[in-house]
Amino acid sequence: MKIYSDWLKIDLHLHTDLSTKTKEGDYQGDFSVETLYEKLTTNDVKIFSLTDHNIINLPAYEEYYGNHTSDEDPLLLVGVELDIEVSTNNGPKTYHSLLIFNYNTIEKAKELSEKLEEKYTSKGLDDKERKLTIEEIVDLFPEDDFFFIPHAGNTKSIISGYRENVEDAQKMVLLMQSAFEKVPEKNRQRYNEGFNRVLHEAFQAQDDIAYIEFSDNHNINQYPATHKGGADSKIHEFYYIKGSKSYETLRLAFIDPKSRIKSTNQYNEIFHLNNTIEKLKINNEPKLQNNEITFSPHLNVIIGGRSSGKSLLMNLLGTKIDKVSTENKYKINNTNILIKAKNDSGYKTSASITENLIYINQGDIVHYFEEKKLEELAIKSGKEEDYIANKTSFTEHKNEMFSILDNLISSYEHTYAIGKEKKYELHRHTIDNIFSEEYVILFDKEELECKFDKSTLIQESKELIENINKNITAFKESEILDITDDEINIIDTFSKLLEEKSLLINNKDKNNIKKSKFIKLVNTKITTKNYELSSGAQEKSHANNNLRQLKTEIKERFVKMNDLKQKSKILENFDYGMTKKININDGVLLVLEVENNEEVKKYLLDGINNSNLSKSIYLNLVDLLLEKNSIKNLGSNSSEKLKQKFIKQLEPIKNMMDSPKDYLEYEDGNISKDKSPGYNSEKYLEIILKNDNNKFIFIDQPEDNLGNRFIADTLVNILREIKFKKQIFLVTHNPAVAVYGDAECIIIAENNENIISYKQIVLEDKDAQKEICSILDGGEYIFDNRSRKYNIKRILNEEG
Amino acid sequence: MNEEINCNLTINEEAHQIIISELSEENIEIDYSSDINFTYLVTILTEKIDEDKKINLSLEEETTDDKLKLVLNTIKEIIELYNDNLIDEEI
């Protein structure tokens, strides 16, 4: 048995053949209660009314109440369709309205019928001329509880009666807590705008004017055809209301139509949920009373006093769903506790849920911000991959910085190896020898080697061709690229070109070796020749070699120092700051950030004694090389020590890049790091609830750390918006969540002498409403507010 | 290596210059008034390796000048090194 507010088909506008007594030819065919019952049950209608024109068909009511008394039978509420007269400047106008009474007994039907018949008799009206004014109706049924459901479409519409002062009609409908019938969907928005004009600002644009359609059937044999089932009829598309078979269900539906009234199309839309948790069966657990809990596919709320077992039930559900990783906090032996998901054939020890699911324990939300665990937020928002990818960018950026440092250290090592004592000098006799009258043979081997050595280029070209060949093979063998024969030809042509280029490069390689060898041979030859010259010439040759050697060493030093300068500059200019943004939901961004508040140079030079921050890293390193200053605490200026020191100096940056700051950036420009955990909890909750990918939501006391205004204005609206798209389970102390959220299933946890039990109630049950008030702080206030949602008091004051 | 390059060497004793023609577009001039620099000649020869042609150098003039003799012998030996280097690589 379902113990939650479920959807029921309703049809409060059916005629019997007695309508022909008050309206000429108003019914088609025979009417019988048997046929009516058969048609209603076949179409699964749960609540209905027989609403003849200005008359109550007592024999039909009597037969139905006499024969159909089971709880499974459709509920018949006493009703009638009245002609209501309004005086206008153009004479009297008549409109039709259903009156549906809070009665379902033959005695009450008779009582109402007698009142009507007496009134018509006292007015001296023929059967077919019956009509009453609204004032007469109010006088006729002063103590009776009824709904006033006027026609507001094209024919016999309340609008035509009140065209000169539509506001009167609007206020009347609001006051009588009712609904409109026969308003085409395209006109409803226009009607709502009209109501907004008479409502207090706080109650405007709430989308809570009730519109509903009934069959208005005048031929039961053709049911559910509209009207008389003839050529101008169509098959009625039923409306559904949420609740149980009671008059109170109607009241709640008319108060809160957005949550409680659905057309067939709307109903079909909300029942596309793939999977839901249907039931939990508790058996033979000493701490828990045996029970079977049936959950709504929409909003399930668990309430109860302190230590009543609310969170225990949430925890139990968590331990029974394989996708949830939660510990059995209450040490319940749950082997005898079974669960059933919609997709499971029966009860199981664990429900298999494949859809995305959010499970949040009490206090978790605020901890995400207090403990800075926004990674979990990203994961629960379905952005885990984006989060990881962006975190990886920071790691890559960090690796880039250390790679630049490695290059710098390597360059420093090369210059350090030269040694600070290295002297560059030419002696007098060397200079004299260079300028002596003796002759020598000159040959600049280095110049030629520099000019002709192409070995690096050749090696690169060989690797390039090799790589292209490998890629071509993979390209040709790809299964997904659908390479055609023509394309194979193109590839083969290209491969031939590569073969030719490969031969060319091999030839160049061969020649390159020859050239290198030739230069070396010539150099040896000339050296030998110079040795054959006079001793003076040999000294000159030697002096020339010394000069050349000096030039080479100086050049080498400049090259190395320039390299050190360039590498230093790259590190000095490295911006380790980085920002990455992940779109979490509806303009809310999760930002990962490393701020560049202190330049790399500052970090590095802090590791050098007597360093000068106004000078570049390079110049400070030159001072290190010349031992004008020293690396702090390491006793040497060697490249190993420098590397050791600089790695340590960059550790704060490394740590920042390993754990970039994360915060939320909201669409209003606010960022979470400037806001309180409470504010952020609200934003967070909004994000995960609105995520369409999450098909199940479990939250233990979401209201923790949330402002009351947020709960009433935002959280409740979100719950109402999403509860038909996903199944929600909430433990709460806040009555607004249950009542304004219009929870379909309310589970009350109770603890009697350490035995915990669970009871299910529904909002449309008046006794249950009292129970909710007794359990939840502020419950009465919430119910009171809800009943005054139409600002009835203000309108009455104005009328008075 | 099918073709050969035939070039000529002449000496201008007044100018103290050795001139090698037909080896490149322009004549190669080697000054032997002071130090003798072979860098340019070897540069041209190294470039010629790509052509894979043997070089025949005609040297008709005789000299008694020791310095000039040294220079001419060195040129001949460099050309030999060049030709041998081509052959070696072929093997």
The rounded distance, in Å, linking the Cα atoms of A524 and A441 is 12
The rounded distance, in Å, linking the Cα atoms of A788 and A796 is 12
pLDDT digits (tens, 9 = 90+) for A138-194: 899 988 989 989 988 777 888 777 777 777 777 666 666 688 888 888 888 877 777
The rounded distance, in Å, linking the Cα atoms of A317 and A757 is 15
The reported pLDDT for the residue numbered A58 is: 96
Residues A58 and A152 in one domain: yes
The percentage of chain A sitting over the pLDDT mark of 90, rounded to a whole number, equals: 56
Q: Which of residues 432-491 of A touch B (CB under 8 A)?
A: 439-444, 447-448, 451-452
Range from A297-311, A675-689, A728-742 carrying the lowest mean pLDDT: A675-689
The rounded distance, in Å, linking the Cα atoms of A52 and A517 is 118
Range from A191-195, A414-418, A742-746 carrying the lowest mean pLDDT: A191-195
Residues A439 and A564 in one domain: yes
pLDDT digits (tens, 9 = 90+) for B44-82: 999 999 999 999 998 877 788 889 999 999 999 999 999
The percentage of chain B sitting over the pLDDT mark of 90, rounded to a whole number, equals: 75
What is the rounded average pLDDT of the residues A613-634? 94
The answer to whether A570 faces chain B, any CB pair under 8 Å, is no
The rounded distance, in Å, linking the Cα atoms of B23 and A646 is 59
Q: Residue A54: inside a domain, yes or no?
A: yes
Helix (H/G/I), strand (E/B), else coil: A76? strand
The rounded distance, in Å, linking the Cα atoms of A402 and A658 is 13
Containing H/E element for A468? Answer: helix A455-477
pLDDT digits (tens, 9 = 90+) for A176-190: 668 888 888 888 887
Q: Residue A34: inside a domain, yes or no?
A: yes
Write the CB contacts of A239 (distance below 8 Å, at least 6 apart in sequence): A9, A10, A212, A213, A214, A261, A262, A263, A264
The rounded distance, in Å, linking the Cα atoms of A398 and A306 is 51
What is the rounded average pLDDT of the residues A335-342? 90
pLDDT digits (tens, 9 = 90+) for A215-236: 999 999 999 999 898 888 899 9
Residue predicted with more confidence, A358 or A791: A358
Signed CA dihedral, A225, A227, A228, A230: sign only: negative
- Tokens 């925890």 appear where? A315
Determine, for residues A521 and B67 on separate chains, whether the beta-carbon distance falls below 8 Å.
no
Q: What residues of B are in the A interface, CB distance below 8 Å?
A: 32, 34-39, 42-43, 45-46, 49-50, 67, 70-71, 74, 77-78, 81-82, 85-86, 88-89
Determine, for residues A448 and B39 on separate chains, whether the beta-carbon distance falls below 8 Å.
yes
| Mean model confidence pLDDT for chain A | 88
Cβ-based burial of A326 (10 A; exposed 0-12, middle 13-18, buried ≥19):
middle
Residues A195 and A219 in one domain: yes
Q: Are B58 and B8 in contact (CB under 8 A)?
A: yes
CA-based angle A604:A606:A612, to the nearest 5?
Answer: 95
The rounded distance, in Å, linking the Cα atoms of A150 and A173 is 8
Containing H/E element for A19? Answer: helix A19-22
Q: Are A607 and A646 in contact (CB under 8 A)?
A: yes
Residues A252 and A345 in one domain: no
pLDDT higher than 60, residue A254:
yes
Burial A186-203 (b: 16+ CB within 10 A, else e): eeeeebbeebeebbeeeb
What is the rounded average pLDDT of the residues B27-35? 94
Q: Residue A390: inside a domain, yes or no?
A: no
The reported pLDDT for the residue numbered A33 is: 96
Determine, for residues B38 and A511 on separate chains, whether the beta-carbon distance falls below 8 Å.
no
Q: How far is A526 from chain B (nearest CA, A)?
A: 8
Q: Where residue A791 falls among pLDDT bands split at 50, 70, 90?
A: very low
Residues A68 and A16 in one domain: yes
Determine, for residues B74 and A526 on separate chains, whether the beta-carbon distance falls below 8 Å.
yes
Residue of B34, B37, B39, B90 for testing the chain A interface, max A β-carbons within 10 Å: B39
- Residue A282 β-bridge partners: A291
pLDDT digits (tens, 9 = 90+) for A506-557: 999 999 999 999 999 999 999 999 988 989 999 999 999 899 899 989 999 9
Give pTM, 2 decimals.
0.64
Kindly list the residues from chain A whose CB atom is less than 8 angstroms away from the CB atom of residue B45.
518
The reported pLDDT for the residue numbered A636 is: 92
Amino acid identity, residue A573? N
The rounded distance, in Å, linking the Cα atoms of A789 and A664 is 35
Residues A223 and A82 in one domain: yes
The reported pLDDT for the residue numbered A293 is: 94
What is the rounded average pLDDT of the residues A625-649? 94
The rounded distance, in Å, linking the Cα atoms of B76 and B70 is 10
Q: How far is A549 from chain B (nearest CA, A)?
A: 17
Residues A149 and A67 in one domain: yes
Six-digit token pair at A575? 């911006």
Beta strands in A35-90 (DSSP E): 45-50, 75-76, 79-88
The reported pLDDT for the residue numbered A198 is: 65
Q: How far is A448 from chain B (nearest CA, A)?
A: 7
The percentage of chain A sitting over the pLDDT mark of 70, rounded to a whole number, equals: 93
Q: Which residue, A605, A638, A138, is CA-closest to A416?
A: A638
Distances (CA, A) of A252 to A260, A591, A781: 7, 44, 17
Residues in chain B: 91
Q: For the domain that residue A322 is a member of, what is the CATH number?
A: 3.40.50.300
The rounded distance, in Å, linking the Cα atoms of A640 and A405 is 12
**H/E/C letters for each residue in A666-729?**
CCCCCEHHHCCHHHHHHHHHHHHHHCCCEEEEEEECCCCCCCHHHHHHHHHHHHHHHCCCCEEE
The reported pLDDT for the residue numbered A307 is: 86
The partner residue sitting opposite B42, judged by closest CB among A448, A513, A517, is A448
Q: How far is B30 from chain A (nearest CA, A)?
A: 11
Range from A84-88, A190-194, A381-385, A405-409 carrying the lowest mean pLDDT: A190-194
Q: Which of A270, A287, A310 is the last residue of a domain?
A: A270
The rounded distance, in Å, linking the Cα atoms of A764 and A767 is 9
Domain housing A444: 420-572
Q: Residue A160: inside a domain, yes or no?
A: yes
Residue A631: phi and psi, rounded to 5, are -75, 135
Residues A687 and A543 in one domain: no
Kindly list the residues from chain B whose CB atom is less than 8 angstroms away from the CB atom of residue A440.
35-36
Residues A43 and A10 in one domain: yes
pLDDT higher than 70, residue A432:
yes
Residues A261 and A307 in one domain: no
The reported pLDDT for the residue numbered A410 is: 97
Residues A84 and A188 in one domain: yes
Domain segments of chain B as ranges:
4-90
CA-based angle A397:A403:A406, to the nearest 5?
Answer: 150
Work out how many domains chain A is built from and give that number.
Answer: 3
The answer to whether A200 faces chain B, any CB pair under 8 Å, is no
The reported pLDDT for the residue numbered A794 is: 39
Amino acid identity, residue A574? F
What is the rounded average pLDDT of the residues A122-127? 91
Q: Which of A270, A292, A313 is the last residue of a domain?
A: A270
Amino acid identity, residue A513? I
Amino acid identity, residue A225? A
Q: How far is A551 from chain B (nearest CA, A)?
A: 17
Q: Where residue A213 falls among pLDDT bands split at 50, 70, 90?
A: very high
The rounded distance, in Å, linking the Cα atoms of A28 and A218 is 6
Q: Residue A399: inside a domain, yes or no?
A: no
The answer to whether A525 faces chain B, any CB pair under 8 Å, is yes
The rounded distance, in Å, linking the Cα atoms of B12 and B33 is 11
Signed CA dihedral, A454, A455, A456, A458: sign only: positive
Residues A479 and A347 in one domain: no
Q: Residue A588: inside a domain, yes or no?
A: no
Q: Residue A383: inside a domain, yes or no?
A: no
Q: Residue A514: inside a domain, yes or no?
A: yes
Q: Which residue of B has its CA nearest to A439?
A: B35
pLDDT digits (tens, 9 = 90+) for A6-28: 999 999 999 999 999 999 989 99
Q: Which of A509, A543, A572 is the last residue of a domain?
A: A572
